[in-house]
């Protein structure tokens, strides 16, 4: 981009504040070319990061942040590292939307009113850096799914039919076992009576109800 005659740091920052990013880039690039290794060059580079970001030249903004991260001024290094990470999150990973105000703390004429919380953050960051205020923290990601239910309502199940079915099944099973056992015992004694030299089992003439209940109870416990 061609250098604007009589470029100055103040003119570049003023254009940046007004949202005239093309003019700001021309002034600030001229400062970087003519005043190398000067404090004004560092301020111009920081302003260029903002201007490049707003004009879509993200790669150039990232390159300047990388350069500033090697500064001997620790506050400049912190500013550069933080803005490099924010630029990466906003543009390379596409995780956030465009910031409401730029990294210099200047609000463009077409920007929406800034929430009080973000204004507070911008003010605090401005007090930390003697050069230029830091950009606001990008909005964090929010999980879009609905939250968990706070109260769980237990399902109302009518277990009475199930209990009745179980009771009926157990009763039928008991009756079948008892009748089958009585039939076997009676048949065995009848056969023994008809055979010579053999006597029927007296135990087989008793009611097997208690024996069946005891056996089923033991099996149920086991």
- Last residue in a domain, options 103, 128, 153: 128
**Predicted model pTM:** 0.41
Q: Which domain holds residue 60?
A: 9-128
Confidence at residue 81, expressed as pLDDT on a 0 to 100 scale: 92
pLDDT digits (tens, 9 = 90+) for 174-208: 889 988 988 898 888 888 888 887 788 888 888 88
Task: State how many domains the chain has.
Answer: 2
Distance (Å, rounded) from C-alpha 36 to C-alpha 49?
A: 17
Q: Are residues 47 and 98 in the same domain?
A: yes
Q: Is residue 186 domain-shared with residue 109, that is, in the same domain?
A: no
Same domain, 104 and 186: no
Q: Who wins on pLDDT, 114 or 169?
A: 169
Query: Which of 93, 128, 163 is the last residue in one of the domains?
Result: 128
Residue appearing with tokens 């924010």 = 86
- Pick 2 or 205 by higher pLDDT: 205
d(CA 20, CA 13): 10
Are residues 107 and 202 located together in one domain of the fold?
A: no
Q: Is residue 118 domain-shared with residue 16, that is, in the same domain?
A: yes
Say which residue the tokens 């069946």 belong to.
212
Q: Which residues contact 77 (CB under 8 A, 6 or more apart)?
A: 68, 69, 70, 71
Indicate the average pLDDT of the chain.
Answer: 75
Residues 27-35 have a mean pLDDT of 87
Instruction: State whether 116 and 210 are in the same domain.
Output: no
End-to-end Cα spacing for the chain: 91
Assess whether pLDDT exceeds 80 at residue 138: no
Do 123 and 24 have their domain in common? yes
Confidence of residue 20 (pLDDT cuts 50, 70, 90): very high
pLDDT of residue 152: 63
Report if residue 203 sits inside a domain: yes
Are 112 and 177 contained in the same domain? Answer: no
Other beta carbons within 10 Å of 9: 19
Residue 140 in any domain: the answer is no
Confidence of residue 50 (pLDDT cuts 50, 70, 90): very high
For the chain, where are the alpha helices, taking DSSP H only?
A: 9-18, 21-34, 39-54, 58-68, 74-87, 116-128, 160-194, 209-221
Per-residue model confidence as pLDDT tens digits over 75-132:
998 999 998 888 888 875 654 454 455 545 444 444 444 444 444 444 444 444 444 4
Residues 177 and 122 in one domain: no
């Amino acid at each position: 981009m061609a250098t604007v005659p009589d470029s100055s740091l103040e003119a570049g920052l003023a254009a940046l504040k007004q949202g005239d990013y093309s003019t700001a880039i021309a002034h600030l690039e001229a400062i970087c070319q003519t005043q190398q290794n000067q404090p004004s060059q560092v301020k111009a580079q920081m302003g260029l990061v903002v201007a490049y970001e707003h004009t879509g030249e993200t790669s150039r903004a990232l390159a300047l942040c990388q350069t500033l991260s090697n500064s001997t001024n620790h506050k400049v290094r912190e500013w550069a590292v933080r803005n490099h990470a924010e630029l990466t999150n906003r543009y390379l990973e596409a995780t956030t939307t465009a910031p409401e105000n730029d990294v210099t703390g200047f609000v463009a004429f077409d920007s929406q009113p800034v929430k009080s919380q973000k204004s507070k953050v911008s003010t605090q960051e401005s007090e930390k850096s003697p050069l230029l205020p830091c950009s606001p923290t990008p909005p964090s990601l929010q999980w879009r799914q609905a939250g968990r239910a706070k109260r769980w309502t237990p399902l109302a199940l009518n277990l009475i039919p199930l209990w009745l079915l179980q009771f009926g099944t157990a009763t039928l099973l008991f009756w079948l076992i008892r009748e089958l056992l009585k039939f076997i015992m009676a048949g065995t004694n009848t056969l023994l009576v008809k055979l010579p030299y053999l006597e029927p089992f007296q135990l087989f003439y008793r009611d097997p109800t208690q024996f069946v209940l005891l056996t089923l109870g033991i099996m149920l416990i086991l």
